[in-house]
């Protein structure tokens, strides 16, 4: 199975469209300038979960635990 084959099977416009888009992205140096590169060669569910994680990480900041000093008790 080629790297773009799962995407070609999922693509609405067919494998030729996926190939054309991949060539266009490569010609624009997309992997070099991207902040995040998402591997979308797996299942659609895995892709959606990865995109959800990226969106949530951008919105939710990580919590820093509050530690009370002994003298504040």
pLDDT at 2 over 60: no
Q: How far is CA 34 from the centre of its chain?
A: 10
pLDDT of residue 29: 81
For 23-65, how does the pLDDT look when each residue is reduced to its tens digit (9 = 90+)? 888 888 877 777 777 887 888 899 999 999 888 887 777 766 6
What is the domain partition of the chain in residue ranges? 5-59
pLDDT of residue 42: 85
Among 57, 2, 60, 19, which residue's Cα sits nearest to residue 35?
57
Put simply, whether the predicted model's pTM sits higher than 0.75 gets the answer no
pLDDT of residue 16: 86
pLDDT of residue 4: 58
Evaluate whether 6 touches 42 at the Cβ level (below 8 Å). Answer: yes
């Amino acid at each position: 199975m080629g790297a773009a084959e799962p995407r070609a099977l999922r693509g609405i416009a067919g494998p030729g469209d996926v190939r054309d888009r991949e060539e266009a992205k490569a010609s624009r140096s997309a992997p070099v300038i991207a902040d995040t590169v998402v591997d979308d060669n797996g299942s659609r569910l895995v892709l959606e979960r990865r995109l959800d994680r990226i969106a949530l990480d951008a919105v939710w900041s990580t919590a820093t635990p509050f530690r009370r000093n002994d003298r504040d008790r």
